[in-house]
Structure 1
Amino acid sequence: GHAIDIEASANGDLYCAGTNNKVFKYNYYNNTWTEVPGSSSVVRISADYYGTPVISNTQGRVWKYDAGSSWQHLAGIASDIAVNRANLHATGSNGKVYWYDFFANNWVEIGGAQNAIKIAVNIDDNPWVIVAGGAIFKRQ
């Protein structure tokens, strides 16, 4: 298949955002991709430790697949997303970095980052970002 984004979770699940902007999960047993129902306009994909996909769409809205049956909308707008274990991080349209508090259902700013455009999260749940101009920073 063809994709615009791809993610492998810690448990080995592999997901992609297809060129049709839908989510697909890879089936290792028959070497095929299966569409995850209910997704549309996907541009970025990530997956938590347990293999649960999280996406952002063309409007910057973030959605998490809930219990394998539907998509749960998470408040706020994100430019890029990254998940490690169960913690969701994002870069906002304002260039700041956030983590998602699932208990309060809102984004919490992580101080210090400015002009962040891309994000990744390491095994210790520390975000790494690329800022405008291409420099890379790690949260200390």
Structure 2
Amino acid sequence: MTTVEKNCAACGAPITVRLADHKRGWGRFCDKSCAAGYKCGMRPRDVNKGHAKESVWAEKAFSEREAAGVDEWPKVPTIKEQLGRKVKVRPIYHSPSSCRKCGKRVNGPGLCWECDEAEEALNAMEAGWDGHKTGSAA
């Protein structure tokens, strides 16, 4: 079983991930609280005393970093440097997801094909009106 070192995408802490999980696009976070914090917009730059007063996640990440005795987590070597070769990572599509307009189940992010066609038709119709005067002359 091959493992690789990565930095957590949310707090920046070094983590060990199975290579198979990395190839699937998994193993980006050290725990579920970091995954939830990342979805809310938290990043390694947010792990400081100021954010620790406002966010439970930042407080946890800051206390873990202080307990380790470092000001900033060290950057781990890239996967290519660790393995000596490039590794292909499959993109993650959270499917089935919902269409942003109608809510119908779609395979992949974005719009269903009906809403996409309607959006393209509307954009094509309004394309000729760019810069057209809308005010009436008095």
Greater RCO structure (CA 8 Å; 6+ sep): 2
Q: Higher Cα Rg: structure 1 or 2?
A: 2
More strand by share: 1
- Structure that is richer in helix per residue: 2
TM-score by length of 2: 0.24
Q: TM-score, normalised by structure 1?
A: 0.24
